[in-house]
Chains A and B, each alone.
Chain A
Amino acid sequence: MKKIFYIFYKDFSSELRMRFALNALIMFVVVAVSTILFSLGSESVAPNVYAGMFWVVVFFSAMSGLSRVFVSEEERGTTLILSLIANPVTVFLGKFLFNLVLIFFINSVIALLYMFLFQEFLIQNWNSFLLAYVLGNFGISASSTIIAAIISKANVKGTLYPVLAFPVLLPLILMLIEITKSAMEGNPISDVEAELLVLISYDVVMITASILVFDIIWRD
C-alpha cells in the first residue's frame, strides 16, 4: 500500500521538477480552447454542442498527456528496476493514481476556462455534472493507463496512442456528453440515473480488467 504512494510520489516529484509535460499540456488546452473560440466567433450554439466540445478537448488533452507514465520509464530505461522493487499491481495502481491526479488537474483547468470564456457554458445541475466529472476522470485514467502500458512497448508511441484509446474510451465519452448536456439543461439527477450507472460499471470493469492483464504486459 505504501509502495503505491512511493511510485506516485516519485512520478509526481519528477514531474514537478521537469514540468515540461505539464506545461505542454496546459498550452495544448489553451490552444484547443482558443481555436474553438476563433471558430465560433460571436455566434452562440446549442448547449449539447458545448457539452460535446468540452469532452472532446478533455479527450485529446488526455491523449497527449497521459501516455507519459510508462513511456518515460521506458525512455529512461528504468522499467527493469521498477519491476524489481514492486509487484505489478502496485506499479499499476501507482501510475493510475498519478494519471488520476493529472487528469483531475487538467480537467479542472479546462472546465474553468470554459466557464470564463463561454457564456453559454452554464451548468444548472451541479450534482450530476460533478458526479459525471469524478466518475469520468476515474474511467479515463484507468483505460488510458492500461493503453499507455501497451503503447510503451511499441515503436511509434505518440501516434498510436489515440488510435488505440479511442474505441475503448468512446462509450465513456458518449455517456459524459449525455450527462453534461442534461446538467446544462438543468434536468434533475434522476434523469441520468442509467447513464451514471453505466459510468460506474465502466470504471469498475476497466479498473479490475486492467489490474488483471497488467501483470502480463509488465512481465517481459
Chain B
Amino acid sequence: METLYNFLEKNSLYIVLIIVLLVWIGIFSFAYKLDKKVKKLEESIKE
C-alpha cells in the first residue's frame, strides 16, 4: 500500500488515469442498469 502510494505520488499521470477509469465505471454501470430495465420490459411484453 505504501509503495503504491509513493508510486502514484511520483507518477501523477496515473492518478488522472484512475479518475478517468472511475468516470468510465460510473457511465458503464448506468448503461448496465438501463440494459437490465430493458430486459425486464421485454420479458413483461412477451408474457
The answer to whether A and B touch directly, with their CB atoms under 8 angstroms apart, is no
